[in-house]
Structure 1
């Protein structure tokens, strides 16, 4: 330990001498122009640079939150593009973008399940070197769930460009729509439907779905419990309203509806993939007006169809 401490001053002296030697080798330049006796002359170099390239600083979609699609329609996904250009933010004159499913490519053709394009994004504002632009995409309800990417290209008045990416996520959507009314028409007491009434179910989401149904009388599940319909006079029992997946099935072998959700066995409606054709399946309904309760007048009930995970 004593030997190491004794050698330390020697090391310090060597370092100082080395630095002094290097200092004398390199000319000292403190300003442009000649040194004191013109041993050297410092000449200023200069250039004026213009035509700066734009820089994309950030790309975010839907305020950087997960996107929930609108069942059966479109959801406008708004992506904000933050840009800097040292020639001025106002020199940005074109911004375009593609919004696409992560398993696809930006260069792929548009497809409502996987790919959207906006060739005319809009400027929000420009201030100094900075500009904000918005690229919006009207995304259909059956667009794939999961990770999506956005590819943005900006161009300024000198035709200089920059390109950058962002990402977002689309939620799973289980949703459906159904024929608005199951109308059995005019029936007398003790009549039974001979021709089943069709009720179509449309997949309004971005996943394959199964379907469950339950029913009650009127439009209140509490007061209408155990009933298919509440009539002007008396009611129709819940077991007298029935369903099937085939129009040819006779009423006697149809499945009675209940007051609790019951799966429509054998019915799966896939996610829509054809942009010109919705995914629709049919159910068929029958009714018996039972003489036991002897109802009369206009009768109304409710059937609840629910989208279920397959």
Structure 2
């Protein structure tokens, strides 16, 4: 019958340490003991695969006023760092979007633009850093308010980073109007036919319209300067109603007067937003005007 070996409780921790040491030795790790196991040293190891890029900053002009009726090229510039070297930066893209939208929304001229391939700024790559410019052709009717520019960088092993900055697009009150209001031939003492003047919104907000008139210089209280004599400013009248007769129309003035009922909405789909005004002239015979007459009407956009 074999012998039974009894291990005292005091010896058990020492045995466990010795077993652990043996296992570590088999795994190839370095190991050393101090006197009587007062301390134990164990080697450490790690495999560093690479450094992710980092978008250090995004900067852009603020505020911004768009170009009336056309495109404005807006840019977000970004500095990207990669500790593997700037050549490890694989691509940089950017999204420019209104606060009412989101980064991943579909492109929309009113609220959302993307640039899938931002461009390296020539001569601005060195060591760990590279500067990029991201351009967006923004239409004149893009919403006013707060816009975000989010820049994302990707490296050669698809590690990514992003940073966002904000800017403000100002409200743009801008319009265009029919080039000429031509009353044609009107006999002294008669009323002209209704003439139209179309007002086009070239801005990014709805607008009301005010008008004033002058003959030769602002504030001269005339509507026309003629070959012989003049016509006073109130002989021209306007309305938003095509059926309003001369008596129902509003007399033009030397100071701005609003045209009631005329609001030109903001364009939203690429087609110009337009509203029509109606004009009529009375040739007052007592003012003794004759011949070719010329004057000016000033249309002004105002907040709706």
Which TM-score applies when normalising by structure 2? Answer: 0.80
Give per-residue Cα distances to partners, 1:143-172, cap 9 Å, x unaligned.
222211122211233433222222111112
User: Which of 245, 253, 277 pairs up with 2:248?
Assistant: 253
Kept after mapping to 2: 8 A contact 1:193/1:251: no
- Determine the structure 1 residue equivalent to 2:301: 307
Q: How many angstroms apart in 2 are the aligned matches of 1:186 and 1:79?
A: 56
Counterpart secondary structure, 2:137: strand
Aligned match of 2:277: 283
Cα distance in 2 for residues equivalent to 1:114 and 1:305: 29
1:216–1:229 Cα contact (<8 Å) kept: yes
Contact 1:246 1:283 in 2 (8 A): yes
| Structure 2: distance between partners of 1:209 and 1:234 | 37
Separation of aligned partners in 1, 2:47 and 2:127: 19
RMSD between superposed Cα atoms in Å: 2.7
User: Does residue 268 of structure 1 match 2:266?
Assistant: no
8 Å contact from structure 1 (residues 228, 238) kept in 2: yes
Find 1:230's aligned residue among 208, 225, 231. Answer: 225
1:74 has 2:71 as partner: yes
CA deviation profile, 1:209-241 (whole Å, cap 9, x unmatched): 1111111103x215xx11001123322221111
Which runs of 5 or more structure 1 residues have no equivalent in the other structure?
1-33
**Residue 184 (structure 2) pairs with residue 189 (structure 1):** no
Tell me the alpha carbon deviations over residues 25-47 of structure 1, each in whole angstroms, 9 at most, x when there is no partner: xxxxxxxxx9xxxx999999787
> Aligned equivalents of 1:191 and 1:156: distance in 2?
78
Q: What's the secondary structure of 1:292's corresponding residue?
A: helix
Which whole-Å CA distance do the structure 2 matches of 1:73 and 1:283 have between them? 24
Using the alignment, how far apart are the partners of 2:270 and 2:141 within structure 1? 12
Superposed counterparts of 1:134-213, under 5 Å: 134-194=133-193, 196-213=194-211
Q: Quote the offset at 1:278 in angstroms.
A: 2.1
Q: Partner of 1:95 in structure 2?
A: 92
Aligned length: 270
CA distances 1:107-131 after superposition (whole Å, capped 9, x unpaired): 1111121111111211103111100
Query: 3-state SS of the aligned residue for 2:94?
Result: strand
Q: State the TM-score, normalizing by the size of structure 1.
A: 0.78
In structure 2, the gaps of 5 or more residues are 1-31
